[in-house]
Amino acid sequence: MKEKVQLTKLAPNCGCAAKVGPGTLAGVLGNLPKFHDPDLLVGTDTSDDAAVYRVSDDLALIQTLDFFTPVADDPYDFGQIAAANALSDVYAMGGTPKTALNIVAFPKNMDVEILGEILRGGADKVMEAGAVLAGGHTIQDDTPKYGLSVTGFVDPKRFWKNFGAQAGDKLILTKPLGAGIVNTAIKADLASDVTRDAVLASMKRLNRDACEVFQKFEIHACTDVTGFGLGGHATEMAVASDKTIVIDTECLPVLPGVEEYASMGLIPGGAYRNREFAGKYGVKSDAVLWREDLVFDPQTSGGLLAAVREEDVKEIMKQLEAAGLEAGVIGEVVGKQEWTLRLR
């Protein structure tokens, strides 16, 4: 490769931290026309992770797309993370990825070997998922961006939604939090090698293993935790389910170094947008400040958040641990209260 470039220096916001805030997005989407089709099982009404369209009694298509600015300096790592993040939406619906298309924006004066490494990373991750890469589209842009449009298969009678959580459910999160805070520290050249390696490994990991474990149990609601942070996505789940979600911040799985970096004020701007969005629906917090910031930290290629029956928790956690996942039982669902989100 002729040119050595720190890709994260090319964008003011990295990865899913570059997403438009949930409050702004909801306002825009609310003005769009509504589409009515009896086979459209999930559309835009519930802020879900992907669309689900029924093809037959036994088959539905999951459709999603996701792309973002560099979240890693190494182009191959960036490609893997962006692909894992896009594939995650299919896993969050309980489905299996089948085909993918590249989405690329790339500066015209940058070394094309860098683009080749980004695409190789994405292709390897798609192959790892057991899907096929079938093409894509590229444009010239001053800031590199990469992601995928993904189609998956699911049983139309057994897919998951981000609503349907029931009072008494326990909440399980399948990856550690803090990616946004750590990536802010990396961009400021303050992160340790241990922390850097940990966040890269977490972001590159597919949510396939978590999905396969959850498929063996009754899942009342599920979403993946990405740019809106745990707090934003939990708020969406609570509102759509007409329930209150209680998060025990002491039980959150956390990436190494996060407490130190958060206490230094290395909080991405997206965290404040996520906190503002949740606040519109009511947030009560007794958590220490850095843990509250962690709840709203925008994640890139984060874990699955699932509402499950209390009686299944022990066996689910046993299987997640056996799969090598750093998961946690992080809270519970209760009946609708004054607060939509409660942090303790």
pLDDT digits (tens, 9 = 90+) for 264-290: 999 999 999 999 999 999 999 999 999
Instruction: Identify whether 66 is part of a domain.
Output: yes
Residue ending a domain, among 95, 129, 154, is: 154
Is residue 46 a known part of a binding site?
yes
291 and 333 fall within a common domain? yes
Q: Is 136 annotated as a binding residue?
A: yes
User: How far is C-alpha 314 from the chain's CA centre?
Assistant: 24
Domain that holds residue 116: 7-154
| SS3 assignment, position 116 | helix
163 in any annotated domain: no
- Verify that 247 and 214 share a domain, yes or no: yes
Are both 72 and 108 inside the same structural domain?
yes
Residue 288: inside a domain: yes
Are both 313 and 253 inside the same structural domain? yes
Q: Domain boundary at 154, 187, 222, which?
A: 154
The CATH number that applies at residue 36 is 3.30.1330.10
Alpha-carbon dihedral 143, 175, 316, 219, rounded to 10 degrees: -40
Q: Is 89 annotated as a binding residue?
A: yes
47 is in an annotated binding site: yes
The response to whether 137 counts as a known ligand-binding position is yes
37 belongs to an annotated ligand binding site:
no
Whether residue 41 is found in the same domain as residue 81: yes
Q: Are residues 196 and 140 in the same domain?
A: no
Q: Is 211 a catalytic residue?
A: no
b or e along 147-178 (b: 16 or more beta carbons within 10 Å of the residue's beta carbon)?
bbbbbbbbebeebbbbbbbeeebbbbbbbbbb
- 30 and 120 in a common domain: yes
Which backbone phi and psi does 79 adopt, to 5 degrees? -60, -40
Q: What pLDDT is attached to residue 214?
A: 98
Residues 118, 12 share a domain: yes
Angstrom CA distances, 87 to 71, 103, 270, stand at 16, 13, 22
Instruction: Specify whether 131 is located in the same domain as 81.
Output: yes
Among the listed residues 14, 16, 211, 222, the single catalytic one is 16
Kindly state the tokens that stand for 99.
Answer: 């085909």
Q: What is the CATH number of the domain that holds 218?
A: 3.90.650.10
Q: What confidence score (pLDDT) does residue 29 get? A: 63
Residue stretches of the chain with pLDDT short of 70: 1-4, 11-31, 46
| Neighbour-count burial of 70, counting CB atoms closer than 10 A to its CB (0-12 exposed, 13-18 middle, 19+ buried) | buried
